[in-house]
Structure 1
Amino acid sequence: MKDITVLDRLTGGSSRVTIVVHTHPDGDAVGSGTAMLGYLTDIKRKNAALIVPDSVPDSISFITKGFEPGSVIVFEDERLKAEEWINSCDLIICLDCNSFSRTADMETLLRKSTARKVLIDHHLNPETASFDLTFSKEGISSASELLFWILMETPEIEGDASRLPARCAASLLTGMTTDTNNFSNSVFPSTFEMASRLIEAGVDRDAILVSLYNNYRENRLRLMGFLMSEKLTITPRGVAFIILDKETQDRFDFKRGESEGFVNMPLSVAEVRMSIFLTQEDDIFKVSIRSKKGVSANDCAARYFNGGGHEQAAGGKLTAGKDLASLKDAEAYILKVTNEFFGI
């Protein structure tokens, strides 16, 4: 309760608030970010903006609808506006990332800012030294769920989810739904309670599910079929991996965000213990790792893929010329390091 009091004092005493999330924002980042934006503007009546390092994928852009024009700023598209906002704010709230290092080109600006700084995150190893106030919990489904329980304790809400602004409540449920893959992983008793309270408060979960899962382009379905039939490799040791290279992206007119959830699919195979999905972005591969209980995706990501995350869900990257001699060596690298990881 003491930390909630401090947060209430910080938000109440601020005049201009910057909300930031991690690069390549996913549903939880955008959901928690817009939820905080809605709370600050509708409840606290603050001048606030959510700044994302790069563009929000089309597949989850519906989350930002209903927010005032200019209140969600894409740093890579509106750099001068974003820099002016960060430099002039007196409070920064960082959501769904454990360090400013995950905010890409925004990192230096955020570190140099003299504004008070608050971290709200559910990942391992939060960089607490960079923040005046930290809310960090690993045993929770998502940043959206963590933010929900924080807001429930604020003086304005007092445990009544119906007091949350409608757009804030919808963003919270959407963010949690995406990060749990619609209640498929990282789900706790508190997660169901959160969902129950929000639905009881009037959030239309059916509409959220339609927007999330029944609103894709035809190309995504055809890409999914191609990857599962032609690009999926399953090793004798139970490691599944898929490499989404530039050639395949061009063939299916791939748009960022359209492969969301693909990494989970191979885990439906009984023998698969770990699934790795690589997406080419220029001279790097963005890496997503999922695993079944008893196998640490986080450990694998930290040891071999310059990343980390949660025990069964982690990410990282591989860079040509640094981790790989060339991008063509990705398959051999995966085979080598996963054999080593499983002690072969």
Structure 2
Amino acid sequence: MQPIQDIFPLLNEPKQIAITMHQKPDADAMGSTLGLYHFLKQLGHTVQVISPTNWARWLNWMEGVGEVLDYELHKTKADAYLDNTDWLFCLDFNRFDRTKSMAPKIASLECTKILIDHHQEPDVASFQYGIYNTAKSSTCEMVYDFIVQSGYRDKINLFVSECLYAGVVADTGSFRFSSTHATVHHMVAYLKEQGLEHTKVHEALYDNFLENRLRFLGHVLSNRMEVFYELNTALISIPKTDLLKYDIKTGDTEGLVNYPLSIQGIKLVGLVIDRDEERKWSFRSKGNFDCNTFARQYFSGGGHFNASGGRDGESLPETVRKFKNAINENKTLLQ
């Protein structure tokens, strides 16, 4: 994989460009792709954002989201566009399997593939150009760097600013995670100088849910959370019946895994949700417990040191049993 800086001289040559992200995109995935979309459109490129799946309704406020193609719903149209694409930007993921049913199509394309990502252990052989930096707060921060370093800082308009700010806020936990370096605050200061209204973005991200979600959160924290104080670990396991009862949609469980971290002494939180095709895991940790290694070893996942995800084809009771065995195997690291 060649350095992403090598494409800077080529940015002023109009191309057909596709931008994609991981399945079930969050604020960083959608924000980074749309931020890049608004930037590249200003340079005269033909640009299409394609999401592998649907996304949370609370992301629909972002400018340009109405033009995003859901690959599962519009596969024929998306494939036709991809077949004629010159460049494919892959944002906020670093292995094709993170794009679900879109993965075989991406792998088969002969276009130039460009990576911008901040997760660990990228499949660099699959990309011609790119950058990955696990020290960065978010992919949105990396897109900001990409625009600035390419010499087009003047193209950061209000649409770009709102999209990029949303991803930074979400992935830094509103600036409280350790990934919030000085560069993040420098970026936000510049966006504010350009007219960004940060309160508008915060309200769109965090005050934009339905009543049923709040009642669901109360039910889950009261009835689906276990705390293992001797292992400094908390577990939330959510059966499918809960999702149906509270009419939970894509994105409604976002941030739930972080709640048990507020319990004194807790170093690791596991959240598992019973989905149709598999059990989906999220892990969060504090201090020196490596979520990325834990997720890769036990649940076919990965991500960041203190935040990662995984999956399991076993039943909900079986995958919960596996988690409990795993934390016991790692008890020396958790104490």
Cα distance between partner residues in 2 of 1:77 and 1:227: 31
Tell me which amino acid in the other structure corresponds to 1:98. N
Post-superposition Cα deviations, 1:203-244, rounded to whole Å, max 9, x if no partner, equal 110000011111111111111111111111001211101011
Distance change in 2, residues 1:94/1:198 (3 Å): same
Residue of structure 1 equivalent to 2:167: 175
Q: Report the residue type matching 1:183 in the other structure.
A: F
Asked if residue 17 in structure 1 is aligned to residue 17 in structure 2, the reply is yes
1:286-341 superposed Cα distances (whole Å, 9 cap, x missing partner): 11000001111111111111111111000011112xxxxx3322332221111112
- Counting only pairs closer than 5 Å after superposition, residues 252-331 of structure 1 correspond to structure 2 as 252-320=246-314, 326-331=315-320
1:165 aligns with 2:162: no
Report the RMSD for the aligned CA atoms in angstroms: 1.7
Aligned mate of 2:64, from 56, 62, 67: 67
How far does residue 13 in structure 1 lie from its aligned partner after superposition?
A: 3.0
Matched residue type, 1:24: K
Q: How big is the shift at 1:155?
A: 2.5
**Which residue is 2:189 aligned to?**
196
Using the TM superposition, give the Cα deviation of residue 3 of structure 1 relative to its aligned residue in structure 2, in angstroms: 4.5
SS at match of 2:212: helix
The question of 1:224 aligning with 2:225 is answered no
For 1:104, the aligned partner's letter is K
Find the aligned partners of 1:68 and 1:281 in 2 and give their Cα distance.
Answer: 25
Percent identical pairs in the alignment equals 28
**Are positions 1:109 and 2:102 aligned together?**
no
Q: CA deviation at 1:27?
A: 0.8
For residues 4 and 299 of structure 1, what CA distance do their matches in structure 2 show?
A: 27
* Residue number in structure 2 paired with 1:95: 91
Match of 1:243, SS? strand
CA contact (8 A) 2:282 2:310 kept: yes
1:137 aligns with 2:125: no
Alignment correspondent of 1:57 = 56
Instruction: Tell me the amino acid that sits aligned with residue 101 of structure 2.
Output: D
**Deviation per residue, 1:167-197 (Å, 9 max, x gap):** 1111000111111121122211111111111
Distance 2:164 2:46 in 1: 20
For 2:80 and 2:239, the matched residues in 1 are separated by 37
2:211 paired with 1:215: no
**CA–CA distance in 1 between the matches of 2:324 and 2:3?**
46
User: What are structure 1's unaligned runs of at least 5 residues?
Assistant: 321-325
Asked if 1:152 is matched to 2:144, the reply is no
TM-score of the pair, normalised by structure 2? 0.94
**Stretches of structure 2 lacking an aligned partner (at least 5 in a row):** none
Matched-pair contact (CA < 8 Å) for 2:22–2:98: yes
Flag as ranges the 4+ runs of structure 1 deviating above 4 A. 2-5
**Contact between 1:20 and 1:50, CA under 8 Å: does it hold in 2?**
yes
**Is residue 87–residue 109 contact of structure 1 (8 Å, CA) maintained in 2?**
no
- Distance in 1 of aligned mates of 2:125 and 2:79: 23
Kept in 2, the 8 Å contact 1:4–1:153? The answer is: no
Counterpart amino acid of residue 214 in structure 2: L
Q: Is the contact between residue 14 and residue 90 of structure 1 (CA under 8 Å) also seen in structure 2?
A: no
User: Structure 1: how far apart are the matches of 2:332 and 2:325?
Assistant: 11
Separation of aligned partners in 2, 1:219 and 1:5: 46
Distance 1:164 1:292 in 2: 34
Give 1:10 shift: 3.8
Equivalent position SS for 1:295? coil
Aligned residues: 330
Q: 1:298 and 1:328 mapped to 2: Cα distance?
A: 23
- Give the aligned partner of residue 80 of structure 2: 84
Pick which of 44-53 and 332-341 moved more.
332-341
Partner AA of 1:60 in structure 2: L
SS in 1 for 2:196: coil
C-alpha distance in structure 2 between counterparts of 1:48 and 1:15, whole Å:
8
Aligned AA for 1:208? V
Residues 1-40 of structure 1: pairs in structure 2 closer than 5 A? 3=3, 5-40=5-40
